[in-house]
């Protein structure tokens, strides 16, 4: 299922985007992992393409960008004029978000202003994986900069009207649970305790979501899909 974020051309112009081809293009035959601690006054594009035109998958394993006015844009195509499939929309971690470029080409654009960045303010660096299927872009715990010690279980991963969050008593006593859609927008925020917590999903649009549990031990994402 395609999960597109539709943004009007006027909004793209407002955010300073211009027609531009990637600085570097990578041909993906095996999973490609990149990391970057972004700087101030950055405007750079990286392109990815599959050798046979098959869809490309991308997962952001870790990273944080300032809400104003730093942006990461993902385009399903060879440059920044292609359809926009995702962008950061809040001052929060981007970890756990997955996108699919069905054209077989993917363009990532990183844009920042003159103040506040990973380099100057100690944000968690961005790390992402681009591959040819969902299993190839699974983030491995040892490859993620943040220690994800706050473990929990989520089921079912294909949900209709509810999901259950199960937090072991040894996992720092619960924490702040956020549900985010694929654009990075937070749709649910709730403090939970250890044990089982049921969350209703009947009012959420069908699509892929990330449940992010954060406490003093760290942050742990779990992906699931809502089907109606």
CATH number for the domain whose boundaries are 9-142: 2.60.120.290
Q: What was the pLDDT predicted at 140?
A: 65
Can you read off the two tokens belonging to residue 33?
Answer: 């992992």
Asked if the model's pLDDT at residue 149 lies above 50, the reply is no
Asked if the model's pLDDT at residue 143 lies above 70, the reply is no
Q: Per CATH, which fold does 147-226 belong to?
A: Immunoglobulin-like (2.60.40)
Pick from 5-14, 20-29, 146-155: least confident: 5-14
Asked if the model's pLDDT at residue 15 lies above 60, the reply is no
Q: What is the mean pLDDT of residues 63-70?
A: 80
Asked if the model's pLDDT at residue 77 lies above 90, the reply is yes
Q: pTM score, two decimals? A: 0.56
pLDDT digits (tens, 9 = 90+) for 163-207: 999 887 765 567 888 887 766 677 888 888 888 999 999 999 998
Q: If pLDDT is split at 50, 70 and 90, which confidence band does 11 have?
A: very low
How is the chain split into domains, by residue range?
Answer: 9-142, 147-226
Q: How much is the mean pLDDT over the chain?
A: 78
Residues 6+ apart with CB under 8 A from 113: 40, 41, 68, 69, 70
- 189 to each of 161, 175, 185, how far by Cα in Å? 17, 11, 11
Q: If pLDDT is split at 50, 70 and 90, which confidence band does 153 have?
A: confident
Asked if the model's pLDDT at residue 161 lies above 80, the reply is yes
Q: What was the pLDDT predicted at 14?
A: 34
Distance CA 23, CA 46 (A): 6
Q: What was the pLDDT predicted at 12?
A: 39
Do residues 162 and 155 make contact, with C-beta atoms less than 8 angstroms apart?
Answer: no
The number of C-alpha atoms within 13 Å of 154 and in the hemisphere containing its C-beta is 24
**DSSP assignment letter at 83:** P
The answer to whether the 9-142 and 147-226 domains have the same CATH topology is no
The number of C-alpha atoms within 13 Å of 130 and in the hemisphere containing its C-beta is 25
């Amino acid at each position: 299922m395609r999960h597109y974020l539709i943004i009007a051309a006027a909004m793209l112009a407002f955010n300073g985007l211009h027609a531009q081809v990637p600085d570097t293009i990578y041909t993906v035959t095996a999973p490609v992992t990149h990391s970057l601690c972004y700087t101030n006054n950055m405007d750079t594009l990286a392109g990815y393409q599959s050798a046979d035109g098959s869809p490309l998958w991308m997962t952001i394993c870790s990273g944080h960008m300032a809400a104003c006015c730093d942006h990461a844009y993902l385009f399903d195509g060879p440059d920044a004029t292609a359809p926009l499939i995702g962008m950061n929309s809040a001052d929060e971690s981007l970890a756990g978000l997955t996108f699919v470029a069905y054209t077989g080409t993917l363009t990532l654009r990183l844009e920042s202003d003159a103040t506040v960045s990973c380099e100057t303010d100690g944000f968690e660096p961005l790390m992402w994986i681009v591959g040819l299927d969902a299993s190839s872009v699974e983030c491995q715990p040892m490859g993620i900069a943040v220690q994800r010690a706050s473990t929990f279980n989520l089921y079912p991963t294909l949900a209709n009207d509810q999901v259950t969050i199960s937090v072991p008593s040894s996992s720092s006593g619960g924490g702040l649970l956020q549900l985010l859609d694929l654009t990075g927008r937070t749709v649910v925020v709730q403090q939970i305790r250890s044990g089982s917590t049921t969350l209703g999903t009947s009012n959420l649009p069908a699509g892929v979501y990330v449940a992010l549990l954060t406490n003093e031990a760290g942050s742990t994402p779990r992906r699931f899909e809502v089907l109606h």
